[in-house]
């Protein structure tokens, strides 16, 4: 079996007055995570793991932090582009394992919901997604959230088995525009068109 492994890591400092979002979930907490986008440290780590697994660069290659288009953007957009990259490379995800390192909030009570959400975003079964959390004991990092992610991919020998992202992503018009722009910039080629099968999404909503 032709397999590839990807590893991703990310960190964001906590910041008062912003909403907290981790693993695609809105979480009630006194502080959120600072970042140019929504600061979703877990989705950022998974995105980097997916991109790295197919040697497609990193999240900054596609989404420069100085680009105003990604101000407060939903990090599922980044994840969707990484999924499109592994599909173009002819791979699919076998499983994902992640570890969050943060002092608060407690992840244990919401780990199951977070696993379900991440599995949904990746079009996987919840049993194929691992969500773990540790405290930063001895690291002097109580005001920072870190995430580690490892992904296992397998080569798809029959191209018909690769599902188009158009079948699993909600905001199709948004993804189409993002992929067309970013893939052409990074790879210098015109990407294939992704058919739009849902209500078009206003890309102004992500800025």
pLDDT > 70 in the chain, percent: 76
CA distances from 28 to 17, 36, 92, 107, 202 (A): 12, 20, 33, 12, 27
Structure confidence at residue 63 (pLDDT): 85
Q: What size, in residues, is the chain?
A: 207
pLDDT at 32: 92
pLDDT in tens, 137-169: 988 899 999 999 999 999 998 766 665 444 444
Mean pLDDT within 96-122 = 97
Instruction: Please tell me which residue, 171 or 46, carries the higher pLDDT value.
Output: 46
User: Domain range spanning residue 147?
Assistant: 3-206
Q: Residue 90: exposed, middle, or buried by beta-carbon count in 10 A (0-12, 13-18, 19+)?
A: middle
CATH code at 35?
Answer: 3.30.1330.50
SS3 content of the chain, % helix, strand, coil (to 5): 35, 25, 40
Confidence band for 196, pLDDT divided at 50, 70 and 90: very low
Domain count, the chain: 1
Q: What is the pLDDT of residues 19-67, one digit of tens each?
A: 999 999 999 999 999 988 899 999 999 999 999 999 999 988 888 777 7
pLDDT for the residue numbered 146: 97
């Amino acid at each position: 079996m032709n397999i590839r492994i990807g590893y991703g890591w990310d960190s964001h400092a906590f910041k008062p007055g912003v909403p907290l979002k981790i693993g695609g979930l809105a979480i009630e907490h006194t502080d959120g995570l600072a970042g140019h986008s929504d600061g979703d440290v877990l989705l950022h780590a998974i995105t980097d793991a997916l991109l790295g697994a197919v040697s497609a660069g990193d999240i900054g290659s596609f989404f420069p932090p100085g680009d105003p288009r990604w101000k407060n953007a939903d990090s599922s957009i980044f994840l969707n582009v990484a999924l499109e990259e592994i599909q173009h490379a002819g791979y699919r995800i076998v499983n994902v394992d992640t570890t969050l390192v943060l002092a608060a909030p407690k992840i244990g009570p919401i780990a199951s919901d977070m696993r379900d959400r991440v599995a949904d975003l990746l079009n996987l079964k919840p049993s194929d997604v691992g969500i773990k959390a540790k405290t930063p004991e001895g690291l002097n990092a109580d005001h920072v959230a870190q995430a580690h992610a490892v992904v296992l991919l397998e080569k798809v020998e029959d191209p018909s088995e690769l599902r188009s992202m158009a079948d699993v992503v909600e905001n199709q018009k948004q993804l189409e525009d993002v992929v067309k722009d970013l893939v052409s910039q990074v790879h210098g080629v015109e990407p294939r068109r992704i058919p739009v099968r849902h209500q078009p999404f206003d890309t102004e909503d992500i800025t």
